[in-house]
Amino acid sequence: MTPKEVIEFAQKNGARQMDLRFTDLPGLSQHISYPIGQLEEDSFEDGFGIDGSSIRGWAAINESDMLLIPDATTAQMDPFFEVPTLTMVADVIDPITRQRYDRDPRWIAKKAEMYLQNSGVADTAYVGAEAEFFVFDNIRFDQNQHSSYYFIDAEEGRWNSGRETNNLGYRPRYKEGYFPLPPTDHYQNLRAEMVEVMLSMGLHIECHHHEVATGGQCEIDQRFDTLLKSADNMMKYKYVVRNVANRHGKTVTFMPKPIFGDNGSGMHCHLSLWKGGTPLFAGDGYAGLSQMAMWFIGGLLKHARGLAAIIAPTTNSYKRLVPGYEAPVNLAYSRRNRSAAVRIPMYSASPKAKRVEFRPPDPSANPYLTFAALLMAGLDGVINRIDPGEPLDKDIYDLAPEELKKVPSMPASLDEALNCLEEDHEFLLKGDVFTEELLEAFIGYKRKAEAEAVRLRPHPYEFALYYDI
């Protein structure tokens, strides 16, 4: 829609308020609302002023004035607010220079698309991301000077099988939640409602199902789209999932590993390059791939350790990325094999379906930064013709120790991942897509607010290990 059409759309739908949304550096949606009378055609150029000093990872208080510029193409009515509300995604502008704000994650995704087009390699990057999540009935947690705990409960959790009252059984066993029918799958109707809301908001949904873990692990798959749209759609996806669950008295988490001893949640990312409407990853090479696709894989594998802090950006991410468990930490590629970091799906022989799947990311990641960083790594592989080596078609989890030593792996902690990003980020700076200043801010925030904060605090399990030492 044009700005004029947005205003007409708001009037037609009886909008009484407008809500502008943007994303902070760690990847959480933020918003601010206005009476609809504040929206005029000039607003799409003049913007709306906000204080950015309290936004995580953003400007210092002495440089905190920001402008939000509504993106007319994202306008739609909110399905959850009681007062009819028009929503739009906003881009962040520096009010002094009128330039895009370099710490706005959406701007980084836009720059990645521009860099791709200017490179001549391709004109379009498609991304399809599969974000998994847990649905819980109750969550309690606290951390202070003298105590630390969390307590999760879910009606579907296998741990409730011995409950004395209101117990009807039918709960997925640990690591056996893929794909039982209801009533063992407790959330068919809840997911179906989420899908209906997503469809009404313009998302293209392909399927939904229970995931492997007990305790309400689910997945709803979106159809691929261009890089920026896929990132916008992922933010919308999370918004819908949380709010539909909330109105049913449930709570959703995208934490990668909330339950010990069961599968964690990933965000597998499917990537492909196109030019002039033609797919570039289809060929007559390994698994039906082109040479360009092989080089793209080479870039992903070469820079995977540097990517880790962006695509698996929490301390909890490394409870999922553990050798020998469900997540692919070993940096190899293979067709069909889900134990490899890069998998080539073989569902279809159509050139349009040919893509590569990068499996280490998880849904705690900021999608704008993640999709942009993955594209930059893959493009570096194409431009520099990085050979990914030989495929590894064996089950990596069953490799002998001497074989496994030859396969590089993802970092084992957020601290290590941040060090890897400091050492390997030149590929992200090409075309000024990421900047040194942004990466320094991201690393500094993650190191102090998360990695160091967790490291400083006693862990409850340490008492079990050491109290009587």
Helices (H), 29-132: 43-46, 105-119
Task: Name the nearest CA neighbour of 169 among 156, 179, 178, 180.
Answer: 156
Cα angle vertex 417, ends 415, 418, to 5°? Answer: 65
Beta bridge partners of 50: 66
What is the separation of C-alpha 201 from the centre of its chain, rounded to a whole number of angstroms?
A: 19
91, 104, 113, 132: the active-site residue = 132
**268 in catalytic set:** yes
Beta bridge partners of 32: 20
The amino acid occupying position 172 is: P
24, 156, 211, 450: the active-site residue = 211
Q: Tokens 């075309």 sit at which residue? A: 431
**403 in catalytic set:** no
DSSP state for residue 250 in the 8-state scheme: -
104, 155, 221, 357: the active-site residue = 357
Task: Name the nearest CA neighbour of 260 among 219, 215, 220.
Answer: 215
**459 in catalytic set:** no
DSSP state for residue 358 in the 8-state scheme: E
Structure-block tokens of residue 136: 């819980």
Angle between helices 367-383 and 304-311 (to 10 degrees): 170
24, 91, 113, 130: the active-site residue = 130
The answer to whether 378 and 116 have CB atoms below 8 angstroms apart is no
**416 in catalytic set:** no
**357 in catalytic set:** yes
Structure-block tokens of residue 308: 């880790």
78, 113, 155, 219: the active-site residue = 219
**45 in catalytic set:** no
40, 45, 51, 153: the active-site residue = 51
Q: Tokens 């090479």 sit at which residue? A: 285
CA distance 218 to 426: 37
DSSP string, 322-340: -TTSSS--B--EEES-TTS
16, 208, 248, 338: the active-site residue = 338
**Helix (H, G, I), strand (E, B), or coil: what is residue 394?**
coil
**424 in catalytic set:** no
242, 359, 425, 447: the active-site residue = 359
Residue length of the chain: 469
21, 171, 210, 268: the active-site residue = 268
Q: Tokens 């159509």 sit at which residue? A: 350
- The residues carrying an active-site annotation are 51, 130, 132, 211, 219, 268, 338, 357, 359
